[in-house]
Amino acid sequence: MESFLASRSVRSSFAAAAAAGSRGCSPRPSRVAILAGARARPLRAGPKDSILQVLAQDDMLNATELVQWENGKSVNDIAASQGIRIRRHCRPTASLKEIEEELGAPLNILEKIIWDKEIEVAEGLAKKPLKELIEAAAKSPPTRDFYGALEAAYKRNGVPALIAEVKKASPSRGVLRENFNPVEIANAYEKNGAACLSILTDEKYFQGSFENLEKVRASGVKCPLLCKEFVIDKWQIYNARSKGADAILLIAAVLTDLDMKYFLRICKELGMTALIEVHDEKEMDRVLKINGVKLIGINNRSLETFVVDTSNTKMLLEKHGDSIREKGILVVGESGLFTPDDVAYVQNAGVSAVLVGESLVKQEDPGRAITGLFGKELLH
């Protein structure tokens, strides 16, 4: 896997420094090896350069993280020390039986999704090396401004800007729409005032696909597109960009601080917006400490239990609203929004945008459902 904390390239470059793993994934190479490697190369880093250069250049590699590496902590140890409950198996070629012998059964649906994703990404990487995707991403048409589209729509309509989700199914609700045509739905959303679109690309749990993302992009839709994925690896970000995504979801419940910093940096290089999703206070605290975060999504749904509670947005914004406003971060209220009252509730709590799937996609006419959701027509 190529996420920073599980990076094969980092491990192989400093193989001599890597010791045996503790829980799950291998520990880091030693600080001496990292710094030696980082300093051996020129400082101006491009997308193809090592993250060590990028981090060294930006001085983002902090002392605590280095000490953790030095002490030989595994990816799961580091994640757990940041309050992350989702574990990685880091064994993409092992059978589920072998993985479960080591770690037990996945603790919840999110962990199960991530364990499958580790295997899926390794297979993807074997079929399409990172280098190819970096080149494909570089050749893609320029990104559209996801953040700017949300900001403008909020100003224009006086209600939260809509990120309308093209969602066929979900683990919590099963199939939402039998007769599912992603391009028709995307066009209907755009015509009815959606500022941006979210395209689910996970196949196994959401019946989405990258083909859907590509088709929507090629259909003439102008809205910026969010690739709604479970990102654990930079390969996925380049893949999303090469297929036309303008923005990508990063889930704080899954990613360590260093991975979020690393992925944010890659998004910046690619001109993409990162929507960083949090669900609880601990995650919000972590994300607010990261420089360069512009867009935070507060998910009202626990991805571990499926419980949806819109008061989650209110609670988190009551505690963190001041600091969010000071930093100029735009907040997206996600999940469980069905009525104009729901939208008004999260707007009063302080969100400037909403991410909505089920309540639109389940309607006969998903485009017209937008007017029902907001209680008025949205202007383009």
Ligand X SMILES: O=C(O)c1ccccc1NCC(=O)[C@H](O)[C@H](O)COP(=O)(O)O
The residues annotated with a catalytic role in the active site are: 165, 167, 228, 277, 299, 334-335
Determine if 157 is a binding residue for ligand X (CB under 6 A). no
Q: Which is nearer to ligand X, 258 or 355 (CB)?
A: 355
Q: Which is nearer to ligand X, 24 or 336 (CB)?
A: 336
Determine if 302 is a binding residue for ligand X (CB under 6 A). no
Which of 119, 197, 317, 356 binds ligand X (CB under 6 A)? It is 356
Residue 359 CB, nearest approach to ligand X (Å)? 6
Find where tokens 């930093």 sit.
327
Which of 73, 88, 89, 167 binds ligand X (CB under 6 A)? It is 167
Determine if 171 is a binding residue for ligand X (CB under 6 A). yes
Residues 303-332 that bind ligand X (CB under 6 A): 303, 306
* Non-local CB neighbours of 62 within 8 Å, separated by 6+ positions: none
User: What are the b/e assignments for 176-214, b being 16+ CB within 10 Å?
Assistant: bbeebebbebbbbbbebbbbbbbbbbbeebbbbbbebbb
Residue 36 CB, nearest approach to ligand X (Å)? 41
Token code pair at residue 154: 């909020």
Determine if 340 is a binding residue for ligand X (CB under 6 A). no
Determine if 373 is a binding residue for ligand X (CB under 6 A). no
Determine if 172 is a binding residue for ligand X (CB under 6 A). yes
Which of 301, 312, 330, 370 binds ligand X (CB under 6 A)? It is 301
Tell how strand 174-175 and strand 169-170 pair up: antiparallel
Determine if 109 is a binding residue for ligand X (CB under 6 A). yes
Determine if 355 is a binding residue for ligand X (CB under 6 A). yes
If you ran DSSP here, which 8-state letter would residue 308 be given? B
Determine if 278 is a binding residue for ligand X (CB under 6 A). no
Which of 335, 347, 351, 369 binds ligand X (CB under 6 A)? It is 335
CA distances to 149, 234, 331, 345 from 160, in Å: 12, 30, 10, 11
Size of site (CB under 6 A) for ligand X: 21
Which of 299, 312, 347, 352 binds ligand X (CB under 6 A)? It is 299
Q: Which is nearer to ligand X, 10 or 119 (CB)?
A: 119
Q: Which is nearer to ligand X, 55 or 337 (CB)?
A: 337
Determine if 367 is a binding residue for ligand X (CB under 6 A). no
Q: Is 369 helix (H, G, I), strand (E, B) or coil?
A: helix
Reported as type and span, the H/E element at residue 295 is: strand 295-299
Is residue 81 within 8 A of residue 74, CB to CB? The reply is no
What is the full DSSP assignment across 2-60? -SGGG-HHHHHHTGGG----SSSSPBPPPHHHHHHHHHTS-S---TTS-HHHHHHHHT-
Is residue 330 within 8 A of residue 147, CB to CB? The reply is yes
Determine if 273 is a binding residue for ligand X (CB under 6 A). no
Residue 303 CB, nearest approach to ligand X (Å)? 4
Residue 277's beta-bridge partner residues?
A: 251, 297
Closest residue by Cα to residue 232 from 54, 25, 21, 47: 25
Site residues for ligand X per CB under 6 A:
109-110, 165, 167, 170-173, 299, 301, 303, 306, 334-337, 355-359
